[in-house]
A and B are shown apart, each in its own frame.
Chain A
Amino acid sequence: MKLTGAQIMIKCLENEGVEYLFGIPGGVILPTFDALYDSKKLKFILVRHEQGGTHMADGYARATGRPGVCMVTSGPGATNTVTGLATAFMDSIPLVCVAGQVVTQAIGSDAFQEADVTGITRSVTKHNFLVKDVRDLARTVREAFCIATTGRPGPVVIDFPVDVSRAETEFVWPKNVYIRGYHPKLHLRPSAATKKQIQEAAQAIMESKRPCLYVGGGAIASDAHKEVFELVNKTGIPITTTVLGLGIFPEDHPSSLRMLGMHGTHYANYSVQGSDLLIAVGARFDDRVTGKIDKFAPQAKIVHIDIDPASISKVVKVHYPIVGDIRAVLRVLNPLVRDLRPQIAPWLEQIAEWKKKYPMKHNKQVGTEIHPDDVIEKIGEITEHKAVVVTGVGQHQMWTAQWYGFRKPRTMITSGGLGTMGFGFPAAIGAKLGCPDKTVFCIDGDGSFQMTITELATAVYFKVPVKVVIMDNGHHGMVRQWQQLFYRGRYSGSQTFMINPNFSKVAEAYGAYAITISKQDEVIPALKKILAYNNGPAILHCRVAREDNVFPMVPAGHALDQVMDMA
């Protein structure tokens, strides 16, 4: 039977196991939306802005490990997805975005709502396609999903001209995908060459005196928490994670050093700097992690396990490179190592001393003011560290990383690489849709929340019960902190308090449940209230201390052990 391109697109998405589509229809994508009308499997989430749609798809992907999917119209619909695509690209998140395009013959003629989408998205996607012939469509969609989800994951755009969506052809679902230029390492058994590299790394681990594990988002993408736990448990090697690696290992475990980097713990950063063997597992040596690069881990030999060969030796010289999937590699590595605790006892003692001497410190409680770090710690306790926590970007994001106490993988969802304000709330909606049985919190800043506040309408309409806690400090707090510390308090562009709306009233106007609080003793009762409300989004607007700072802090461009802290 012949189907139209639009029908084929919908069939392919169904066959790929897609559950939700996020987006907004418009002119040239209407044939596809018409075909969607007949689908019994795909649920369409009408968002209020395409950026929000991409973040929802992203949150869905991070929470579930399955690709998130968007469908938007040409021109402005497609350009509105760019920030979301770039966010997903930087953090290696699998997305597929179908964008309508003007008729093939009109491409390049500045037609109505035409944009060069493959050109615009080229540098923020893992790959993109322009489908010019309906006979290529099914294969292209399969390839798009394959590319998005395998190897180092990432977003893929399919530019879909309207005439192709109307053209008819026989529908054939390609069984296998073969792309001759694409050979990612799969979740297969490591090759003999890789095994040899793993053996060499194992040898180095067994000989080390001051080893340290540095684990990132790649370990989460690989669902390798069990293997990581086994490695630490067996060897006793201390472990620190990046912000994107939080949750891969329980932070209450004695081997945990918690997060490293600019706002990491003293002891994580000192451990990295003092190590003689740094074992990087699915982490990419971001400058927020390494500080000044030529002073980074000066005595360490480096083991780097990563699925992307281009990630290895990109920033620092690696002595033991291992290209492969984390889970597959650790399954080979773990049996090759033994308990190192006796051999590294002095190192572990040194770390214990750092932990005692430089603990994480709360902001001082003055009067009845609410401090975000305290609220976040309470959210951790009240949810037993099991909730999925999604953040905006800024101080509240870093306090969340420091104080929630992550224990489970895929529970910390945050824009690390691009640092996209406005990511949090829509991503939380996507995460909740993907994990209906989990409690999902969005911990947001007043600035970040307002970038995608319009998605309140989406959350209310679809009754998505996310818990949103807005830390309203009346500032773009992270910017203010930098200006206070590094620009002599010259609050350029942030000197006035932000003109914020009454967030509760705005939320209520959208039909959401909302509470505003401003005293510390109101926190727990208010958290209980929003946890009890499950008929849609519940917003807790916290008016918090205006000028709290995030510490510890390694100023940009400094060595990782040059840590500033509060008095």
Chain B
Amino acid sequence: MKHTISVLVENHFGVLAHVAGLFSARGFNIDSLAVGETQDPSVSRMTIIVHGDDQVVEQIIKQLDKLVDVIKVEDITQDDIIERELVLIKVKASAETRGDVMQIVNTFRAKIVDVNPQSLSIEATGGESKVDAMLELLRPLGLIEVVRTGLIAMARRKQLEVPSKEGPAKKKSSRAPSTKKKGTV
């Protein structure tokens, strides 16, 4: 089954290598991985799409959670989510076929972003099935180049909270320091 996993990670050097390395070292297959900064510049969000049975996905999530640079992981597959992907497509377009291309572009509410004598470049966004369907229709006309960002996703109502770098706000600091181990380690 397809799973959409949303991961908040530290936005610094080497984090992507840790995540990618985990997937290759443990033999997990990624369908796509998209990453970018969040509202908090010290934090990035990765949207990872994987296929696997529940046991495999459970391990993926637990192993991701173990990475020190991973702040939060959530499988949002079952949630009410908005999923989008951006795709850039260069397709063959002669005088005869140009009209067909335009029609497909209009149907999918995509945009022509570049025009050449032999080709058109298209920009489209949508969920995975929309993008796939559009590519299938364009394929017979001659796909020259396809660039996809991979899916990004966001839950409609809830959000993964980003804890601050300094830790949870301190409770009353006037108390005498306890000798027990602190909640922070």
Contacts and interface: CB of A to CB of B under 8 A. Distances in A.
A310 B62 contact: yes
A186 B166 contact: no
B165 A180 contact: yes
Task: Determine the interface band of chain B, counting residues with CB < 8 A from chain A.
Answer: 20 to 34
Nearest to B13: A130
A146 interface: yes
Contacts of B137: none
Nearest to B72: A181
A186 B55 CA distance: 26
A178 B25 contact: no
Given A180-B164, A181-B10, A147 B25 contact: no
Interface stretch (A44-52, A116-124, A215-223, A430-438): A116-124
A181 B68 contact: yes
Nearest to A124: B25
B93 to A, nearest CB: 42
Interface string B167-183: 10000000000000110
B95 interface: no
Interface in A141-163: 146-147, 150
A193 interface: no
A337 B51 CA distance: 43
A528 interface: no
Interface in A178-205: 178-182, 184, 186-188
B70 to A, nearest CB: 5
Interface string A307-333: 011100110000000000000000000
A307 to B, nearest CB: 11
Interface in B134-185: 163-167, 181-182, 184-185
A565 B139 CA distance: 65
Nearest to A314: B59
A123 B23 CA distance: 11
9 contacts: A126-B68, A130-B13, A176-B184, A178-B185, A181-B10, A181-B67, A181-B71, A308-B66, A314-B59
* Pairs of residues from A and B, 8 with the lowest C-beta to C-beta distance, nearest first: A178-B167, A310-B62, A181-B71, A178-B184, A127-B68, A180-B163, A123-B25, A176-B184
Given A181-B69, A181-B72, 13 more contacts: A122-B17, A122-B18, A123-B25, A177-B184, A177-B185, A178-B166, A178-B167, A178-B184, A181-B10, A181-B67, A309-B62, A310-B62, A310-B65
